[in-house]
Structure 1
Amino acid sequence: MSQNGSANNQGGANNKVTFLNDRSARDVWDAAAQEFNSNSDYTVEITWLPKGTSMNEQVAKMQSAGNLPALIFETSADCYTETLEGLTAPLTGVVDELGVEDPVRVDGESYLVPVVASPLMMMYRSDVVQGNPRTRSEWLAEAERIQNEEDQSPYVVPSGRTNAATTHMNQTLWNGGVNPYSGTGNNIEIVLDNDDNRKKAIATMEWLQNINEFGPQASGWDWSDCSNALIQEQLVGWAGLGLGIQELQANRPDLVSKFKPAPYPTVQGQDPTQWWAYFEGIYSYKGANNVEGGREFLKFFLESDYYFDYLRQTAPFSFPTSLEAIQDKRYANAEIYDTLPAFLELVENNWDSMASVLNTGDDGAPNAVAAQAYSQQLFGQAADQLLYGGKSPAGTVDWLTKQLRSIAQQ
């Protein structure tokens, strides 16, 4: 075995494929690399990101040492940014052959092989919430009832510079029929303050103010804060990720079966323009050695039992990146879906609407402004401006529009 846990074949250093990885289930990845190496002319060597070191810092170190990774596990936004800088190698053949989503497609080429999808979803205590509230008005009415009759907060609106706050605000605007952008790539026009968008965005801010009256003060809350509130039974409903179920499994398994998934609250009669899902995966650096070997390993891994073993360990937070793989028994038979089959069904039934925040350009094309806005967590900041910064709903829309235009003009 090599220092990183992968067996070396007789291909030697000349055929080494360096893979920079920071994900869980190291034993699964290392076993996959070992099997691949024993049957390939290439040797995959996994470098695990050292604790306290960022991906950018580690890539710089490896490049200085003449060992630029052929494969790196990162977000779609990171891949897109480096693709625009001309640093990445196309992986079009792998994406097409596997039939996975294609979040980073630039000038007809695919640059990211998505490995994990993490869709947003509402989850709530079915033993506390009455009926099946779906619309904003239904959730407001139910929130008032719960506050009056139960000793729990019915809903939380996270705000501030956190991922939880940013995703919540984005999806809530989309579910109000708001589309802030027009164009593709770096050629993005901000249309948040166009007449129809502006009216819908203001109405969304008003709803957030109203529903926030029934929840905890959640400025600065991220995923862990929301999960902890569920675990401690302080919170009935959370519009977030399947991560909450993972945390409940680890800390309050007695509560897991009580939770039910649903789409985020919508305006009556309004279909959301998009359903947010994180897409993270693997891309290649153009100047790395043996990128072709990296492509072969990607195809091997995503078709193997190792891949589904990796995903099952974190379901229903982690889903495969194609509908076919979601329906594959190797994933669908995850133990959690014996208890919560509705979580799997919700994603299956809405898969065609799933896309990352990056893919908010025209016709789902990449959107550089949206990616930058996410990295700055502008939408979460907007929630803070609205709920704790003294801005009105209209003033919040104007503030967010100004911030987005500032990015677009850079």
Structure 2
Amino acid sequence: MNSTKGSMINEKKGRIGCVKWHGDLMDTRTFSNAGQDLYVRVNETILAQYAKSSGSLTKKAKLAISIVSVLLFFLVVFLVYWLAKRKSKGKERPDKFVSRVLTGSTYFEKSTADLDDENTINSSELPFFNLSTIYVATNNFSASNKLGTGGFGSVYKGVFSNGKEIAVKRLSKHSGQGIEEFKNEVVLIAKLQHRNLVRILGCCVQDEEKMLIYEYVPNKSLDYFIFNETNRALLDWTRRIFRGDQNEANTNRVVGTYGYMSPEYAMEGLFSVKSDVYSFGILLLEIISGRKNTGYYNETYPDSNLVGHVWNLWGEDNALKIVDSSLVDSFHFNQVARCIQIALLCVQEDPTERPTMSAVLVMLSNDAALPQPGKPPFLVKKSGTIEDNSINYVTCTIVSTR
């Protein structure tokens, strides 16, 4: 402060004095317990200018504080929103889970008019069912409603409140590959909706449960009959091929199961329509023989599977030996021999040599001459158990004739 005015000084011991100075006021300090009280007399004009200057600085400081506060508020809001979005990615909603699995395409455009509106959760791709509805339909997954168990988990029969029967595939909570199988199931069924497939009605992804809901097929599966010593006698040759939905439609077999996978898919992960042809050929051999494709069949070739066994008999011109003994009185030799040859054409190692399914249909429908089949793969069964091998499992709904 620059001043030439007098100042009053209240000194210690009550003495009062007056000091007059020129220039800047230097070396003044504030003491809490000691020192002298200094009263400064300043020109009124200078004091007014100082007061005005101090007030202006205060307003600017207040404005700056306000701006910074607003910016900090919006920054905090943004951070909270960002953290919430990031956290939500780790807990996908059920519809988002299936939408992601379906690779962005809308495959499900079917009507659900035959279902109660209260039973489903709206979805543009696939109807979602409330978990409580499934519990009621299956009587809390009662053991009496259990239809079977597979790599995916267990399958239960259920009945909706409108009387519609369903089959519920429930993902096993302890299945190491269950989640991947569930994703594969959804993707494949989404792409394979067809009038000749067991129809999927929807799914349930809620809490810890993941389930697929299908229409119920009441007449059991083909393997229920042909792989059972007692039941196989109930299906003669004609019924095995033409009996309603008792064919490849509902074998309950999965495309990725050991023995059904084509070599190019099992070894290299290459999948095509010719992979399905291979699986159809395996299925046809099972229908004819009444035997599982991975079993033991030949003392001469102890490591051969069903395909290898049939191929060896074919080379010996003795393929009819594989025919199920329960069919002896019901089949026509020429028909069965033709089916065996078609099956071997379907399971050739080179996928380009396999016929298309339309060609297979023509072969099964007439008596035209057939080409000679080439060597099939997997002539020797791998040693060890199936569990010892690393298998690329893919579950899939299998064809069901209507």
TM-score (norm 1): 0.23
TM-score (norm 2): 0.23
Quick check: which has more Rg, 1 or 2? Answer: 2
Higher RCO, 1 vs 2 (CA within 8 Å, ≥6 residues apart): 1
The structure whose residues are more often helix, as a share, is 1
